[in-house]
Amino acid sequence: MNKPEITSQLANIVGEEYVSDDLADLIPYERDDQFPFVPPHRPDYVVRPRTIEEIQKILRLANDHKIPVVPFASGINRKGLCIASKGGILLDMRRMTRIEIDEEMMIATIEPGVNFAQLVVALNDYPHLRCLTPDAPATASVLANYMLRGIYATSTRYGIDHLLTMKIILPNGEILDTGSAATPNTIGPYCNIVNGPDLTKLFQANVGTMGVAVEGRIRLYPMPEKIRFLLISFPSFESMLEPAKQYTIQNLVAGVWIWTFTEDALKTIMQLKSATPEWFALGLFLEGTSTEVHDQEDQVLAIAAEAKGEVLKIPPDFENEFVLDHRYMRGDVRGWRKGNLYGCSCYGTFKNLVAYYKAGKKLCEKYGFEGYHFEALPVSPFHGQLTYIDPCILWDGGDPAQVTKIRAFHQELRAALLDIGIYGFFRPFPGVVNSQELGMYGEIWRKIKQLIDPNNIMNPGKPPLD
């Protein structure tokens, strides 16, 4: 079938209004912030389905004609994950915005087009419930973020796994319900306890390479009565680590951000001034009843004082902004007022934090990048000292010399982090995750991919078959 015939078949499925092969419609999807690592590439068609049946038909058509399909929930990932590296159909699911809240089960069922703003608004009718939100723009897809296991200001207490079960359309158009939906006479598709392995996990941290998730059931949590944000500065990177560890182990905070900023990064990202060239601070989120928060604060301050921590007086507006971000969604994207943001985010161990921090700093100096900042967040459950690590720099994507430099910087930083030892990378994008380096795990991952998607139509060019 030629291109106009495919366009016409797609129009038969979703309606003419929701298909395009027009250049003007395709160009916005062809590149993102990660262009030095995932080169821009234009899809051949943009399709905007509304129903599960439409997605089944699209995948059958694509599978029959071996046309690549790239799922797109909100395209905010910034890691090249929605770039149609081999062309094909860009499946933009932003019309799929159904939300059902089951108050008794403390679960929401959502479609992939539901973003954090929409879910938060829907939850306004249930003031005692909340969803956990990332530091991402409010337009980010909840399902895509949870599938990729996002990182949240509350992850020190609540972890990163808030997705229970999913409805997946496989590349051949078949429907797979993961979790308890498969149990005969099931009481509901709400639970990931099932008779065998938890297949939800098989589709998590896979970047649209196994099928299309058309529905997910996510955990909702009680809304705390009070949230308090504290910023405590310390004399050095090392001096804030023991307090951060104690806050985590003693469960004194919902989140403890370990931050270092250069003067430049502090000004750009936090809109704060520093008297020193490098600034070390813990950003703490305390939550609970008013009494609990009061008690937590006393204990937090006593531990900080022992390490020469100094509580920073922050304007009430600033605290409110942080609390709002944390409780609901990010209203403003700090850090994006200057050029591009690069981060080699990964999971590692708390005890190696100094080594990760220094490795990033040394390379930043070697390559002459300004605005190094390092973020880390202990993650629940803390066994194995699970910690999110993010060495970041601000750079200028408009300068070709910096594009070349950032590629070399990335390779060296990736190697340095692997040398120190990490658990895994945060976002599995090409250039970071290489399944060939993963031994038998990588081999089985590729075999499962081949079993589910023998024609490799789902987001080709991304791990495990990049």
The one-letter amino acid at 134? P
Q: What would the two tokens of residue 117 be? A: 């703003």
Closest distance to ligand FAD from the beta carbon of 200 (Å): 12
- Does the protein bind ligand FAD through residue 376 (CB under 6 A)? no
Q: Would you call 270 helix, strand, or coil by DSSP?
A: helix
Please say which residue, 70 or 266, places its beta carbon nearer to ligand FAD: 70
Locate tokens 């971000």: which residue? Answer: 325
Please say which residue, 75 or 309, places its beta carbon nearer to ligand FAD: 75
Please say which residue, 224 or 460, places its beta carbon nearer to ligand FAD: 460
- 455 DSSP 8-state letter: T
Size of the site for ligand FAD (CB under 6 A): 32
Interface with ligand FAD in residues 284-343 (CB under 6 A): 333, 336
Q: Yes or no: say if 274 and 263 are a contact pair by the CB < 8 Å rule.
A: yes
In residues, how long is the chain? 466
- For residue 310, what are the β-bridge partners? 233
- Please count the helices (runs of H) and the strands (runs of E) in the chain: 14, 20
Closest distance to ligand FAD from the beta carbon of 136 (Å): 3
Please say which residue, 144 or 307, places its beta carbon nearer to ligand FAD: 144
Please say which residue, 61 or 84, places its beta carbon nearer to ligand FAD: 84
Closest distance to ligand FAD from the beta carbon of 290 (Å): 28
Please say which residue, 150 or 255, places its beta carbon nearer to ligand FAD: 150
Interface with ligand FAD in residues 211-230 (CB under 6 A): 212-213
Closest distance to ligand FAD from the beta carbon of 314 (Å): 20
Q: Which residue is nearest to ligand FAD (CB)?
A: 150
Phi, psi of 167 (to 5 degrees): -105, 120
Locate tokens 């991919």: which residue? Answer: 449
- Using alpha carbons, select from 391, 327, 344, 338 the residue that is nearest to residue 365: 391
Which region, judged by CB under 6 A, interacts with ligand FAD, from 188-196, 205-213, 347-355, 433-441?
205-213
Closest distance to ligand FAD from the beta carbon of 269 (Å): 10
Among 41, 42, 78, 414, binds ligand FAD (CB under 6 A): 78
Q: Would you call 43 helix, strand, or coil by DSSP?
A: coil
Closest distance to ligand FAD from the beta carbon of 424 (Å): 15
Please say which residue, 136 or 191, places its beta carbon nearer to ligand FAD: 136
Q: What would the two tokens of residue 213 be? A: 């998730």
Distance (Å, rounded) from C-alpha 211 to C-alpha 444? 17
- Burial 278-316, CB ≥16 within 10 A → b, else e: bbbbbbbbbbbeeeebeebbeebeebbeebebeeeebee
Dihedral-angle region of residue 31 (phi above 0 means left; psi in -120 to 50 means alpha; beta otherwise): beta
Among 38, 73, 232, 282, binds ligand FAD (CB under 6 A): 73
Among 10, 61, 67, 72, binds ligand FAD (CB under 6 A): 72
- Using alpha carbons, select from 236, 193, 189, 246 the residue that is nearest to residue 214: 189
**Per-residue contact flags (x/-) with ligand FAD for residues 128 to 167, judged by CB under 6 A:** ------xxxx--xx-xxx--x-xx----------------
- Interface positions with ligand FAD (CB under 6 A): 70-78, 81-82, 93, 112, 134-137, 140-141, 143-145, 148, 150-151, 207-208, 212-213, 333, 336, 459
